[in-house]
Amino acid sequence: MNYPVVVEVTLRDGIADPEGATIEKALPALGFTGVARVRAGKSFRMEIDAVDESAALEKATALAERLLSNPVIENAVARSAVGS
Amino acid sequence: MARIGVVVFPGSNCEYDAFSAVTSLGAQAQFIWHSQTDLDGVDGVILPGGFAHGDYLRPGALARFSPVMEAVAAFASAGGAVLGICNGFQVLTEAGLLPGALQKNRGLTFLCQPTTVIVESTNSVLTRGATQGEELVIPINHFSGSYTCDDATLASLEANNQIVLRYKDNPNGSRADIAGVSNVDGNVVGLMPHPERAMSTLLGSADGRVLLEGFVHAPVGAR
C-alpha cells in the first residue's frame, strides 16, 4: 500500500539562518508583530509503498538522512500525511 | 609530466577554465565525465565550479552520488591530490571528504567580486608552494559560500592546521573567515574562491598561479 508522507528539513539549532532572519525582520513592517524565532526550511511530500505506516516512516527517515538533508547542518523529521 | 583529471558533472561550468589553467602550468589535463567509475590513472583530480545536477536540493547533494565520486573517494583515501573549487568544494563537503558545509551567503545575494585571502597553512596540496601569511587576490563567484561547522569541528580544524585560506574581509559570513579547508592529511582541499580565474594579470590577477602550480605538481613525488 502507498502511504503519504511529509519530510520536513530544518536547520539545526545554532546554525545561522539568514533566510529566516530576513523573513522575521520583514514581518513587523507588514503589521505582523509578536512573531519570533522564524526558521526557514524545506518540506517534501511523497508516497511510499510499504507494509504499514511505521515501515513507510522508517524508509522516509532513512532517505531523508541520506539525501534530503545534510546532517552536518540540518535535521529531518518524517511524519504521516494521511488526511492532509 | 603530471596528468590532472577535471571532473565534469552535468551543470559544471568552470571545467574549461580549470583545464586551461592546468595546461598553462605545464601539466596535462583531461576531462572525466561524472558517470565514469575510474579516474583513468590521473595524478590529481579537480572538481570544478558550476551547478552540478542543477544544484537541486542543495549544492553538491546530488553530485556526491555520481558514479565517479566513489573513485574520487578511493583516490583521496589513498593519498591522491583532490581539489574542489567552489561547487567542487560543496560536492566534497556533501560527500564527507571534507568537514563542514556551505550555506547561503549571509547577505542572501550572489557574490561575484575579487577577494583577498590569506594563506593560513602551507600543509596542503594547494598551498604547499605559497608562503604562510601571504595575501592573494582571487575572485569569488557564489551564492552558497558561507562555510559553517560546529564548535568541535572548528576546534579540530584549528588543531590540525586544516584551515588553508581565510578571507581578509569576510564577504559571505563564513565561520572564522574560512575560505578553504583541507582534510587532516592535506591531500584533499576545497575552497570557494576561483584560483583558475586568477591566472593572468591581464585578466585582473595572477595570484591563483602559486596555488594551482603547487597543486598540479604536487602529485608527482608527493606522499
* Domains of chain B, earliest start first: 3-217 (3.40.50.880)
All three cell numbers of B18, joined, read 580549470
Q: Whose CA is closest to B170, among B204, B199, B193?
A: B193
C-alpha B90/C-alpha B215 separation (Å) is 19
SS (H, E, C) B70-114: HHHHHHHHCCCEEEEECHHHHHHHHCCCCCCEEECCCCCCCEEEE
Above pLDDT 70, what percent of chain B? 98
Sheet harboring A41-49: ordered strands across?
Answer: A41-49, A2-11, A74-80
> What integer pLDDT is reported at residue A14 of this predicted model?
85
The answer to whether residue B196 is catalytic is yes
Task: With CB atoms and an 8 Å threshold, state whether B103 touches A73.
Answer: yes
A14 interaction partners in chain B (CB closer than 8 Å): 150
Measured on CA atoms in the order B195, B199, B205, B209, is the torsion positive or negative?
A: positive
pLDDT in tens, B196-206: 999 999 999 99
Whether residue B223 is predicted with pLDDT greater than 50 in this model: the reply is no
The chain-wide mean pLDDT, for chain B, equals: 95
CA nearest to A42 within chain B: B57
All three cell numbers of B165, joined, read 585560506
> What's the gap in Å between the CA of B57 and the closest CA on chain A?
7
Instruction: Say if strands B28-33 and B3-8 run parallel, antiparallel, or are unpaired.
Output: parallel
Query: For B38-43, what is the mean pLDDT?
Result: 96
Please name the residue that has the C-alpha cell 509578536: A34
Whether residue B218 is predicted with pLDDT greater than 80 in this model: the reply is no
Q: What architecture (CATH level 2) is domain A2-15+41-80?
A: 2-Layer Sandwich (3.30)
pLDDT in tens, A25-57: 999 999 999 999 999 999 999 999 999 999 999
All three cell numbers of B49, joined, read 565550479
C-alpha A46/C-alpha A60 separation (Å) is 9
C-alpha B167/C-alpha A36 separation (Å) is 32
Phi, psi of A10, deg, nearest 5: -130, 160
- A14, A18, A73 ranked by CB distance to B108: nearest: A18
Higher pLDDT, A5 or B1: A5
Whether residue B220 is predicted with pLDDT greater than 50 in this model: the reply is no
Whether residue B3 is predicted with pLDDT greater than 60 in this model: the reply is yes
Amino acid sitting at position B82: V
Q: Answer whether A61's CB lies under 8 Å from A69's CB.
A: no
B101 interaction partners in chain A (CB closer than 8 Å): 70, 72-73
Whether residue B115 is predicted with pLDDT greater than 60 in this model: the reply is yes
Q: Answer whether B163's CB lies under 8 Å from B157's CB.
A: yes
Query: For B24-50, what is the mean pLDDT?
Result: 97
